[in-house]
Amino acid sequence: MTPELQGKVGLVTGGTSGIGRDTAVLFAKAGAKVVVAGRREVEGKETVELIRGATGSDAVFVKADVSKAAEVDALVQRTVEKFGRLDVAFNNAGIEGHWVPITEQSEEDWDHTIDINLKGVWLCLKYEIRQMLKQGDGGTIVNMASAAGLMGLAGAATYSASKHGVIGLTKSAALENARSGIRVNVVCPAVIETPMADRAYEEPAIHKFVLGLHPIGRFGKPTEIAEAVVWMCSDRASFMTGQSLVLDGGLLAGPNPPK
């Protein structure tokens, strides 16, 4: 069977660890040439080496802050300079910010979280779609939201608001570009075993409580989300656009009764 992304050029932001790193590797295994973007150069180059070691495929790391328009524009242009085009993108870069009540949230932290999680996705969409429209033969984009983009999250209102915003952006971008053959979707994981989750739920009591909200009885693994993103970017998902794919271990299905 031909790999799902054979001959494609893929871009992954936030590709320095976790879900982004696993997706970048799976993009390459699916046949794509991959550009890995992030702010941490050492970790980004580690991802590139993982790609080369696993697939022998060509890959490159580009240091970029997705909250800055000039850097996102340069990232897309670097992708085109290196590989000639852009076919698939996973806008994954994000931060958790400081999880405190709204009354204690600083304006600085609000701005920083929204800049990375929401403005960053908007900027990536803007420059990725421009390039895909210029090419004239479509493309696929997946944005990273969260189960928190579909529910309230006490103590993490800024993070939740940013992810709600990503879902709205995704739907709007999908509508604007459907007739151009550009599909835009969003993935909404619950808690995944990543450095971000380790930071957010490091206290044993909090970890136990949050784990109990997942009826499946465990947190997700980065590769489980990466596999879904690859499918969403492939022609096997060709009738899917403007949609939110929830991968949450049952979290949103309703309250999990105590055992």
Active site residues: 159
Cα dihedral value 155, 197, 42, 88, nearest 10: -90
**Closest by CA position to 62, among listed 38, 98, 32, 97:** 38
Look-up of token digits 């979290």: 251
Q: Which residues pair with 9 in a beta bridge?
A: 33
- The Cα–Cα gap between 219 and 249 comes to 7
Scan for tokens 């790391």, then name that residue. 61
* Amino acid of residue 77: Q
Per-residue burial over 202-223, b if 16 or more Cβ lie within 10 Å, else e, is eeeeebeebeebbeeeebbebb
8 A C-beta contact, residue 23 and residue 47: no
The span from the CA of 38 to the CA of 17, in Å, is 9
